[in-house]
């Protein structure tokens, strides 16, 4: 056709570059680059993959490379997803028969040994695999980490094992109250605060100025700011009064 730009004389020296790179080098559009590539004998299928590209993907699959490694070696800007789509569409190998068009990874021989001493994030870096792949290997090998031991709550001497009738009444009244043991303060001062709360005291942690603070080192007991030791002493007095 008239008006078409002829192929540059040195175009054949840049056939290994991507179309985007060729467009930038020669200042031509995608249609002109494709026409020049056809003139050089490079056959391009309807999805933009040349026969050489498809053969590279096929050989990479035979060599056991994954899609990301094949895409990096080709350097055509397609990326891992493009390689997967090409392998699935043109049935280049076993990937096409797998669900989602993804390759079937074999579990490394040293995976169980490294799993015992490394985190999942570290394993992802070592094996260049995603979180889902690492967890899939873990389930296949039935690897389970031991459960963490739960710390036992502290006991305080002034909490009586045999409460009085009044104490038992107060205890039973709060027996069915919904509580979360993991969020309760099971320290000596925290248990003392529970004792005071059962006697209708407003007790909560605070800072030295008396302002409420979850991580405070002091306690607001009514209108008074007290320390842990003073709070425990107040609770002990109430226990002795109930036991009398």
Model confidence pLDDT, tens digit, residues 29-67? 888 888 888 888 766 555 567 777 888 888 887 777 788
Residue 193 located in a structural domain: yes
Residue 151 located in a structural domain: no
Q: Which of 101, 123, 148 is the last residue of a domain?
A: 101
Confidence of residue 169 (pLDDT cuts 50, 70, 90): very low
Residue 145 located in a structural domain: no
Residue 158 located in a structural domain: no
Q: Are residues 185 and 131 both part of a single domain?
A: no
Q: Are residues 97 and 116 both part of a single domain?
A: no
Domain tally, the chain: 3
Helix (H, G, I), strand (E, B) or coil at 225: strand
Q: Are residues 97 and 16 both part of a single domain?
A: yes
Q: Where are the alpha helices (H) located in the chain, listed in sequence order?
A: 19-26, 30-39, 51-62, 67-74, 79-89, 111-115, 120-127, 131-140, 165-173, 188-198, 228-243
Q: Are residues 20 and 80 both part of a single domain?
A: yes
Q: Are residues 169 and 233 both part of a single domain?
A: yes
Confidence of residue 96 (pLDDT cuts 50, 70, 90): very low
Residue-level length of the chain? 244
Q: Is the pLDDT of residue 11 over 60?
A: yes
CA–CA dist 244, 242 (Å, integer)? 6
Contact 112, 118 (CB under 8 A): no
Portion of the chain with pLDDT greater than 70, in percent? 72
Residue 197 located in a structural domain: yes
- In the chain, DSSP finds a helix count (H) and a strand count (E) of 11, 3
Q: Are residues 50 and 97 both part of a single domain?
A: yes
Q: Which of 64, 42, 39, 65 is nearest to 53 (CA)?
A: 42
Q: Are residues 85 and 118 both part of a single domain?
A: no
What is the domain extent for residue 71? 11-101
Q: Are residues 178 and 231 both part of a single domain?
A: yes
Helix (H, G, I), strand (E, B) or coil at 204: strand
Q: Are residues 42 and 93 both part of a single domain?
A: yes
Residue 234 located in a structural domain: yes
Nearest-10 crossing angle of helices 228-243, 188-198: 50
Distances (CA, A) of 92 to 5, 60, 177: 36, 10, 65
Q: Is the pLDDT of residue 152 over 70?
A: no
The pLDDT value given to residue 56: 83
- Residue 162 DSSP code: S
Q: Are residues 181 and 205 both part of a single domain?
A: yes
Q: Are residues 21 and 87 both part of a single domain?
A: yes
Residue 3 located in a structural domain: no
Q: Are residues 125 and 199 both part of a single domain?
A: no
- Order of all β-strands in the sheet with 218-221: 203-206, 218-221, 224-226
Residue 5 located in a structural domain: no
């Amino acid at each position: 056709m008239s008006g078409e730009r002829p192929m540059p004389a040195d175009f054949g020296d840049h056939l290994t570059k991507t179309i985007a790179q060729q467009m930038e080098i020669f200042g031509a559009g995608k249609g002109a680059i494709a026409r020049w590539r056809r003139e050089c004998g490079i056959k391009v299928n309807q999805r933009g993959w040349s026969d050489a590209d498809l053969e590279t993907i096929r050989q990479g699959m035979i060599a056991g490379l994954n899609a990301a490694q094949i895409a990096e070696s080709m350097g055509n800007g397609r990326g891992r997803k493009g390689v997967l789509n090409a392998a699935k569409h043109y049935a280049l190998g076993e990937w096409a028969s797998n669900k989602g068009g993804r390759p079937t990874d074999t579990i490394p021989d040293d995976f169980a040994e490294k799993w015992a001493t490394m985190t999942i994030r570290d394993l992802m870096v070592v094996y260049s695999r995603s979180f889902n792949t690492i967890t899939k290997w873990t389930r296949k090998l039935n690897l389970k980490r031991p459960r963490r031991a739960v710390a036992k709550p502290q006991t305080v001497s002034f909490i009586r094992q045999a409460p009085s009738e009044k104490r038992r009444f107060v205890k039973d009244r709060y027996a069915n109250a919904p509580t979360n043991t993991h969020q309760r303060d099971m320290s000596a001062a925290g248990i003392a605060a529970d004792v005071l709360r059962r006697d209708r005291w407003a007790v909560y942690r605070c800072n030295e100025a008396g302002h409420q603070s979850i991580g405070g080192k002091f306690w607001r007991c009514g209108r008074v700011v007290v320390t842990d030791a003073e709070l425990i002493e107040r609770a002990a007095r109430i226990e002795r009064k109930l036991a009398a």
